[in-house]
A and B are shown apart, each in its own frame.
Chain A
Amino acid sequence: MSSDAECIDGMLRGDSSAFAEIYQRYRTRLQQYARSLVRSRAEAEDVVHDVFIALAKQVSDGRKPRELPAYLYVSVRNRCFDRLRKKTEQRLDEGDLELLVAPPGDAERIGQRRTLERALLALPAEQAEAVVLRTWHDLDFAAIARLQGTSINTALSRYQYGLAKLKKELGADER
């Protein structure tokens, strides 16, 4: 497995397998992040598609992104917000959104998946984003803060408030 920088250098040399490696490394996380923002599977797919094609074009033009993960996350975020601004109202596509997959055979988590997703989507957008990025993407609070254009303390607070609400919704605050 090559590093991000090695893959970008490979792309600059015209090696499409390097592009495939980057895509496979980030596709799942970026798709889930996009779903959590635009709340539509189809639109999230379009966003992820557009982001990777823009990356391929940019690198083909000889312009390297300086920090690939930050570039990809910011691109997804901006494109999702761009789509949300164009919508007259937020249409929730919760029925088939599928933000998370429960571990097979884990009856409790399978049963609570929909409740968790609903609770996550009911959070204020910045809190939901902080919870998603911290919990399932392993981003640190500095990275979340940069993405949200806020301070580390604010990102941390958003995460903590969001987590507390999820605990309450799932009845985990009483155990």
Chain B
Amino acid sequence: MNDERFEARLKAYRLPDVSAALDHRVLQEGRALVEHQPTGTTLQDVGHSLLDVLGFGYVAWLVDLVTATDAEYGVELI
């Protein structure tokens, strides 16, 4: 059997469903967080716009570079 046929054979398997309990946990806690502090962005956007206008857009870019990555966990390979 060539690789393409074998790959197609594997792809016919689908991924298992997520449990209703996990859906409930994530959606309930996530909803509370998202609805709680919607103003964070506005402050960030205002800050970015201000830096852009003042000609310091690269500062905002640097801040994004540091903060927009997975902040709690750095990439670490085993």
Given contact pairs A64-B64, A109-B13, a sample of 20 additional A-B residue pairs in the complex whose CB atoms are under 8 Å apart: A14-B36, A19-B27, A27-B22, A28-B18, A32-B16, A45-B21, A49-B25, A56-B30, A60-B33, A60-B36, A65-B69, A74-B73, A78-B75, A98-B16, A100-B14, A100-B15, A101-B16, A113-B13, A135-B10, A136-B13
Q: How far is the CA of A139 from the CA of B77 in the complex (A)?
A: 19
Q: Which 8 A-B pairs have the closest CB atoms?
A: A14-B38, A62-B40, A12-B41, A62-B44, A78-B73, A100-B13, A16-B31, A56-B33
> Do A23 and B27 touch (CB < 8 A)?
yes
B26 and A23 contacting across the interface, CB-CB below 8 Å = yes
Whether, in the assembled complex, A6 has its beta carbon less than 8 Å from a beta carbon of chain B, the answer is no
B interface list, Cβ under 8 A from A: 1, 3, 6-7, 9-19, 21-23, 25-27, 29-31, 33-38, 40-44, 64, 67-78
Cα(A58)–Cα(B43), bound, Å: 14
Tell whether A116 is near chain B: CB-to-CB under 8 Å: yes
Q: Nearest-CB distance from A149 to chain B (Å)?
A: 4
16 contacts between A and B (CB under 8 A): A19-B34, A23-B26, A27-B26, A28-B16, A28-B17, A31-B18, A58-B71, A63-B44, A63-B67, A64-B68, A81-B76, A100-B14, A109-B9, A116-B10, A166-B10, A173-B1
Q: Across the interface, which residues of A come within 8 angstroms of B9, CB to CB?
A: 109, 172
A31 touches B44 (CB 8 A): no
Whether A101 contacts B75 by the Cβ 8 Å rule is no
Which B residues touch A61, using CB under 8 A? 37, 40
Whether A149 contacts B38 by the Cβ 8 Å rule is no
A66 to B19, CA, bound (A): 29
Q: How far is the CA of A68 from the CA of B77 in the complex (A)?
A: 20
Contact A74 B75 (CB under 8 A): yes
| A19 adjacent to B73 (CB under 8 Å) | no
Is the beta-carbon distance between A102 and B15 smaller than 8 angstroms? no
Query: Which chain A residues have a beta carbon within 8 Å of chain B's beta carbons?
Result: 11-16, 18-20, 23, 27-29, 31-32, 35, 45, 48-49, 52-66, 71, 74-75, 78-79, 81-82, 84-85, 98-103, 106, 109, 113, 116, 125, 135-136, 148-149, 163, 166-167, 172-173, 175
Is the Cβ of A163 less than 8 Å from the Cβ of B18? no
Using Cβ atoms and an 8 Å threshold, which residues of chain B touch A102?
A: 12-13
Among B14, B30, B38, point to the contact of A52 (Cβ < 8 A).
B30
